[in-house]
Amino acid sequence: MRAVFFKGNNHPLEIRDIKKPKPVKDQVLVKMKYAALNHRDLWIMSEQTNAGDGIILGSDGTGIIESGGEDVDPMLYGMEVIINPSLNWGNNPVVHGDSFKILGYPDNGTFSDYLLISKKYIFEKPEHLSFSEAAAVPLSALTAYRALFSKARLRPGEKVLITGIGGSAALWTMQFAVHYKANVFITSGKQEKLERAKQLGATDGFNYKDPNWTEAARKAAGGFDIIIDTAGGPDFSKLFELAMPGGRIVNFGRTAGNVGEINLRNFYSKQLSLFGTTMGTRDEFLSMLDFIEGRNIKPIIDSEFTLENIQQAIDHMKQEQQFGKIILKIA
User: pLDDT at residue 291 above 90?
Assistant: yes
Identify the pLDDT of residue 275: 96
> What pTM was computed for the model?
0.95
Omega before residue 106 within 30° of 0, cis: yes
Asked which of 1-10, 30-39, 117-126, 299-308 is least confident by mean pLDDT, the reply is 1-10
Distance CA 102, CA 39 (A): 13
| Residues in contact with 45: Cβ distance below 8 Å, sequence separation at least 6, in sequence order | 6, 9, 13, 57, 314
Q: Which of these CATH numbers, 2.20.25.90, 3.40.50.300, 3.40.640.10, 3.90.180.10, describes 2-137+299-329?
A: 3.90.180.10
The tens digit of pLDDT for each residue in 106-116 reads 999 999 999 99
User: pLDDT at residue 260 above 80?
Assistant: no
Tell me the pLDDT band of 51, cut-offs 50, 70 and 90.
Answer: confident
State the span(s) of the chain assigned CATH 3.90.180.10.
2-137+299-329
Q: Is domain 141-276 in CATH 3.40.50.720, yes or no?
A: yes
DSSP run (H or E) holding 82: strand 80-83
State the span(s) of the chain assigned CATH 3.40.50.720.
141-276
**What average pLDDT score do residues 274-287 get?**
97
User: pLDDT at residue 253 above 90?
Assistant: no
Identify the pLDDT of residue 10: 83
User: pLDDT at residue 255 above 80?
Assistant: no
